[in-house]
């Protein structure tokens, strides 16, 4: 056995907590053409009252490419971890330097600690594929997002991803600015989602100059590869395959 985990679950009862739960669930609208997504909470709270949310917050079609929406969810839309708990685990880890997986655990926990609290991430590779351009360096995209005053991180499960509070219109503008800078994007077929997106003017100011935070995060080790192929929990003892 390589490792096992033990999960402790503490169940609390709270009438107020139950009322809060719909505030943490969101419907998802995802464009069938370009993958742009929008989250819409199913309930809202105001004037000391919980009420069903009003909507939809999106129009009939995607504002980026004109595609139709897939409707999904509701999905959980609350905080994904407790930062103080992650800090405590990191502090414990520092006392156990002899762990073989120390570097990997520290990397994963650091990525978790820095992760922006939004449930879904963007894939710059897929966005570049839609526009038929090369994928910009992650640090460059992160810099543009930080320079515009938004927060950004990777997702701890996917190194080549972006979690951010920047609107999708900003991210597409950053991708278009990159394609323009490289003289790319001409390969998007007429009438395709990519061509529709490229036809729209860039409305946000995009500043790719290196933001210190983006560079620092890109340099340090967050995503250590698995020590060997197929590494992970083995079948339960006694199970024959």
Sole window of 56-64, 90-98, 135-143, 181-189 interacting with Zn ion (rule: CB under 5 A): 56-64
When the beta carbons of 143 and 164 are compared against Zn ion, the nearer one is: 164
**Residue 77 and residue 23 in contact, taking contact as beta carbons nearer than 8 Å:** no
**CA 218, CA 211: separation in Å to the nearest integer?**
11
The least distance separating Zn ion from the CB of residue 59, rounded to whole angstroms, comes to 11
Sole window of 67-75, 78-86, 87-95, 152-160 interacting with Zn ion (rule: CB under 5 A): 67-75
Question: Which pair of tokens denotes residue 33?
Answer: 């053409």
31 binds Zn ion (CB under 5 A): yes
The least distance separating Zn ion from the CB of residue 61, rounded to whole angstroms, comes to 8
Sole window of 30-38, 165-173, 174-182, 215-223 interacting with Zn ion (rule: CB under 5 A): 30-38
65 binds Zn ion (CB under 5 A): yes
When the beta carbons of 95 and 189 are compared against Zn ion, the nearer one is: 189
36 binds Zn ion (CB under 5 A): yes
138 binds Zn ion (CB under 5 A): no
* Percent of residues in the chain assigned helix, strand, coil, to nearest 5: 35, 15, 50
What is the distance, to the nearest Å, from the Cα of residue 31 to the centroid of all Cα atoms in its chain?
16
- Give the list of residues 6+ apart from residue 158 with CB closer than 8 angstroms, or none: 121, 123
Sole window of 7-15, 16-24, 29-37, 144-152 interacting with Zn ion (rule: CB under 5 A): 29-37
Residue of 30, 39, 41, 64 that binds Zn ion (CB under 5 A): 64
153 binds Zn ion (CB under 5 A): no
33 binds Zn ion (CB under 5 A): yes
Within 13 Å, how many C-alpha atoms sit on residue 86's CB side? 16
**Residue 52 and residue 74 in contact, taking contact as beta carbons nearer than 8 Å:** no
Beta bridge mates, 37: 30
198 binds Zn ion (CB under 5 A): no
Residues across the chain: 241
**CA 12, CA 17: separation in Å to the nearest integer?**
9
Sole window of 14-22, 27-35, 81-89, 203-211 interacting with Zn ion (rule: CB under 5 A): 27-35
**CA 93, CA 103: separation in Å to the nearest integer?**
10
The least distance separating Zn ion from the CB of residue 120, rounded to whole angstroms, comes to 15
Classify 200 as helix, strand or coil.
Answer: coil
When the beta carbons of 64 and 161 are compared against Zn ion, the nearer one is: 64
Give the interface with Zn ion as residue ranges (CB under 5 A): 31, 33-34, 36, 62, 64-65, 67
């Amino acid at each position: 056995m390589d490792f096992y985990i033990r999960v402790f679950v503490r169940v609390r009862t709270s009438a107020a907590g139950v009322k809060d739960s719909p505030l943490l669930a969101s419907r998802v609208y995802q464009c069938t053409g370009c993958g742009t997504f929008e989250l819409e909470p199913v309930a809202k709270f105001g004037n000391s009252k919980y009420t069903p949310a009003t909507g939809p917050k999106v129009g009939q079609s995607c504002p980026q490419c004109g595609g139709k929406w897939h409707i999904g969810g509701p999905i959980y839309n609350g905080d994904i971890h407790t930062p103080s708990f992650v800090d405590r685990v990191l502090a414990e880890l520092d006392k156990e330097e002899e762990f073989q997986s120390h570097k990997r655990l520290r990397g994963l926990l650091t990525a978790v600690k820095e992760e922006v609290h939004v449930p879904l991430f963007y894939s710059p590779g897929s966005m570049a594929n839609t526009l038929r351009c090369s994928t910009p360096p992650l640090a460059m995209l992160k810099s543009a997002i930080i320079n515009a005053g938004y927060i950004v991180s990777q997702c701890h499960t996917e190194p080549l991803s972006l979690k951010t509070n920047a609107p999708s219109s900003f991210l597409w503008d950053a991708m278009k600015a990159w394609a323009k800078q490289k003289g790319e994007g001409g390969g998007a077929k007429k009438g395709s989602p990519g061509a529709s997106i490229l036809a729209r003017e860039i409305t946000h100011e995009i500043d790719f100059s290196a933001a210190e935070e983006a560079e620092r995060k890109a340099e340090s080790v967050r995503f250590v590869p698995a020590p060997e192929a197929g590494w992970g929990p083995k079948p339960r003892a006694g199970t024959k395959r």
